[in-house]
Amino acid sequence: MTVGPPSTASTSTKRVAKPSPVVRVTASVVVLIVVALLTPLALVASWARVQLVDEDSFVATLAPLSSDPAVQDLVIAETTSAISASVDFSAIAGAGVDGLVALGVPQEAARVLGLVAQPSADSLRSITRQAVTDVVHSDRFSDVWSGVVRTAHRAFVFGATSDGGGIIVQSPDGLGVQIGGVVSAIVAELDLQGSPVAALVPPIDRVVVLGDGTTLQAVRSAYAAATTAGVAAPLLVGVLLVGGVVVAPRRRRALIGAGIAVAVGSATVLVAVAVGAAQAHRTAVLRGFDAAGVDAVVRQLSSGLVGTASTVLGIGLVAGIAGVLLVRRARPRRMSEPRPTLE
């Protein structure tokens, strides 16, 4: 019994089912380009998810700022400014002078007391600033700072998932940050230390306006996107990265492309962080904030993102170099293989 050759139909079916090298190369290139585009999103989303969702990670990130001199100066300046805007030191000093005059002091003495009213007000401002400075420079400020940061994180989450509240408020002038919590924490510490300044400071309701009401919707959208994309985006990039190498007919060369794609994506994040930090510095200068303190906050807050992006950049470079070495190693083998001869 003889077996005939395979049918032409089955042979053609097998040939059609197998993609050509050109199609595989094209698919690999397209996938790796998508990886390069999605890598920044994956890095930022992963970092944002940790900072926005994990309260302890957020506090741990910003806790070291309590000992940063630039941040301390920023806190002192903003707290003193908030207190000065809420407490009329001139009226307090004037009331003290009027009380002494009411006791029936001689006219000449009353005139002298009137001259010291303004210097007394200035002294009260100086005493207040020094009291705030002493609290910020004390060992207990780290606990005060951690408590404020934790409260701010909870309030941010509340503002991003509800109608706004806590440290993020919707004022008539727009969306802003309520810094009264920072002042209250420092005043409470002053009260514990027995400082008379604490009795002079009323509850402070001061808002630093950041933008109009549309910003709140952007905050909510960003929070929702970060909580979702922070998990999905890195997984998607990982799957595409492996797929881009596996589908290629020459996987060693595809490894080079994968390394380049990852390196380019992570380098883009590092450049974006640098540009964002520069923009934050310019904004701080324009709005009259302590630029050095703002720089320190931005630098510390983005340190995790910079570290992760730098690590991924290194991995991409190593993968690319490994691919180059593998390609060079394979060339001598192909050249040493005997070529088929026609008989």
pTM of the predicted protein model: 0.65
For 340, the token pair is: 């088929």
In SS3 terms, 71-97 reads as: HHHHHHHHHHHHHHHHCCHHHHHHHHH
Is-contact 189 140, C-beta < 8 A? Answer: yes
Is-contact 98 149, C-beta < 8 A? Answer: no
Is-contact 308 47, C-beta < 8 A? Answer: yes
pLDDT in tens, 54-106: 778 888 888 888 888 888 888 888 888 888 877 777 777 677 666 666 666 66
Confidence of residue 267 (pLDDT cuts 50, 70, 90): very high
For residues 35 and 292, the model is more confident at 35
Q: 114-123: string of b/e by CB count within 10 Å (b at 16+)? A: eeebeebbee
pLDDT in tens, 285-296: 887 777 888 888
